[in-house]
Amino acid sequence: MIDVINLKKSFDNTTVLESINFSVKKGEVVCLIGPSGSGKTTLLRCLNLLEIPNSGAIKMGDDQLTFSERKFKKNKLLTLRKYSGMVFQGFHLFPHKTVMENIIEAPLIVKKQSKAKLIKQGEQLLEKVGMIDHKDKYPDSLSGGQQQRAAIARALMMEPAIMLFDEPTSALDPQLVREVLKVIEGLAKEGQTMVIVTHEMNFARRVADKVLFIDGGFIVEEGPPEQVLDNPSHKQTKTFLQLLDDEQ
């Protein structure tokens, strides 16, 4: 489903991603962990093409995009972006639109689908994320957990092959974390392909087929959660997990 090959991304003079290589199979759930500033967000944003890598290649489905310092065609970028939907740490719902308006906005405008059909589809999705009772509310009147569940529904409405989550619960009060994680676990059970940046190690153990540990611009270690989280073979991974344990 996704192949990332020698991906490199730098800002001005600082290289954040040196050379990233990994693959995600269809239906797989991959959790991305790593220290603060290690480039997890940057990598996820590269997958959604919100950030343009300096070099390397990303392959999704049948489409591949090779990056170089030179400019490249914008429509190729859009082709690749269609594969993924992004859920942000800070939700970024559209505040001037109700929950229903938020989730039908993009398919209505981009895919030009009929509104009636979208509302039907939206109701089903909101049911699934437990937000149907709030469909006519504005984001400002919702809790963080509710906003994030609406944001998940909004991304799902575009029916992306891959869902990308950037620390979906780290802006939430502790008692709201569970309701959001439950929704994501539900998606995992349905076989949704996902890449999730998270610090919730227990959650990662439950949902992940594969855990990637990123540090210093490289994927340092990857494997099933039991291996990477409980029996890491690299020193950097051990140090990181030790630090997390100390915090909790």
Ligand X SMILES: Nc1ncnc2c1ncn2[C@@H]1O[C@H](COP(=O)(O)OP(=O)(O)OP(=O)(O)O)[C@@H](O)[C@H]1O
Nearest of 64, 55, 40 to residue 10 by alpha carbon: 55
Considering beta carbons, is residue 35 or 130 the nearer one to ligand X?
35
Considering beta carbons, is residue 16 or 164 the nearer one to ligand X?
16
Q: Report in angstroms how near the CB of residue 224 gets to ligand X at its nearest.
A: 22
Go through 163-188 and write b for each residue having 16 or more CB atoms within 10 A of its CB, e for each that does not. Answer: bbbbbbbeebeeebbebbbebbeebb
Cα–Cα distance measured from residue 14 to residue 11, given in angstroms and rounded to the nearest whole number? 5
Q: Report in angstroms how near the CB of residue 64 gets to other proteins at its nearest.
A: 19
Q: Report in angstroms how near the CB of residue 192 gets to Mg ion at its nearest.
A: 22
Q: Report in angstroms how near the CB of residue 40 gets to ligand X at its nearest.
A: 4
Q: Report in angstroms how near the CB of residue 52 gets to other proteins at its nearest.
A: 12
Please, which of residues 120-179 interact with other proteins by CB under 8 A? Answer: 138-141, 154-155, 158
**95 counts as binding other proteins under rule CB under 8 A:** yes
Q: Which residues lie closer than 8 Å to 39 by C-beta, 6 or more apart?
A: 9, 16, 17, 214, 217
Q: Half-sphere exposure of residue 221, counting CA atoms within 13 Å on the CB side?
A: 21
Please, which of residues 26-65 interact with other proteins by CB under 8 A? Answer: 48, 50
Residue nearest to Mg ion (CB): 41
Burial class of 106 by CB neighbour count within 10 A (0 to 12, 13 to 18, 19+): middle
C-alpha dihedral over 10, 28, 99, 47, to 10 degrees? Answer: 20
Considering beta carbons, is residue 16 or 176 the nearer one to ligand X?
16
By CB under 5 A, the count of residues binding Mg ion is: 1
Considering beta carbons, is residue 118 or 204 the nearer one to other proteins?
118
| Binding piece for other proteins, criterion CB under 8 A, among 8-16, 59-67, 103-111, 213-221 | 103-111
**Crossing angle between the packed helical segments 144-156 and 115-128, to the nearest 10 degrees:** 130
Site for other proteins, rule CB under 8 A = 48, 50, 78, 81-82, 85-86, 88, 90, 92-97, 105-106, 109-110, 138-141, 154-155, 158
